[in-house]
């Protein structure tokens, strides 16, 4: 096709498709009403994200907010809460997920364990309040059992 066609164009106002051939400079025009079509194989990001466990999404959100605060792109959690249209208390609960031991965070992010999706966030609060990471891991194992 590229060896014989010089140019293809479309006028949305006139709804005309034009083709100009290379060698002869022959120009053909067609009346065509093209509609924008969504590709069938389009990735539906929102649907894929919604399939992720809630605690995984909240952990990712907490890291994103922390990074924005460190870069001074958000002045504080109060501003982030306003932008996200959530209460400051709720955002603090989400940010507290960062207090989980790195081993637990890694499991939340990487594990394919179906039980993680079934854990409500409020059940993490006792674990989050435990300062000893080894004890946190023990509590986490109990929760998953």
pLDDT at residue 29 greater than cutoff 70: yes
Determine the average pLDDT of the residues in 54-73.
Answer: 92
Q: Give the integer Cα–Cα distance in Å for 74 and 84.
A: 12
Confidence of residue 67 (pLDDT cuts 50, 70, 90): very high
Residue 43: per-residue pLDDT: 64
- Strand, coil or helix: 1: coil
Rounded to 5 degrees, φ, ψ at 86 are: -135, 160
Domain coordinates in residue numbering, the chain = 1-32, 45-131
Residue 112: per-residue pLDDT: 80
115 CB-near residues (< 8 Å, 6+ apart): 144
List alpha helices for 34-98, DSSP H.
45-51, 54-70, 77-83, 88-95
Determine the average pLDDT of the residues in 121-135.
Answer: 93
């Amino acid at each position: 096709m590229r060896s014989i066609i010089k140019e293809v164009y479309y006028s949305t106002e006139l709804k005309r498709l034009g083709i100009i051939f290379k060698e002869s400079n022959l120009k053909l025009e067609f009346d065509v009403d093209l509609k924008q079509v969504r590709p069938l194989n389009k990735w539906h990001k929102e649907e894929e994200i919604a399939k992720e466990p809630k605690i995984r999404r909240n952990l990712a959100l907490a890291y994103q907010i922390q990074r924005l605060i460190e870069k001074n792109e958000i002045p504080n959690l109060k501003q982030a809460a306003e932008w996200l249209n959530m209460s400051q208390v709720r955002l603090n609960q989400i940010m507290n997920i960062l207090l989980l031991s790195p081993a637990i965070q890694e499991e939340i992010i990487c594990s394919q364990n179906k039980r993680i999706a079934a854990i409500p966030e409020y059940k993490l609060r006792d674990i989050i309040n435990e300062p000893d990471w080894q004890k946190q891991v023990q509590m986490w194992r109990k929760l998953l059992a």
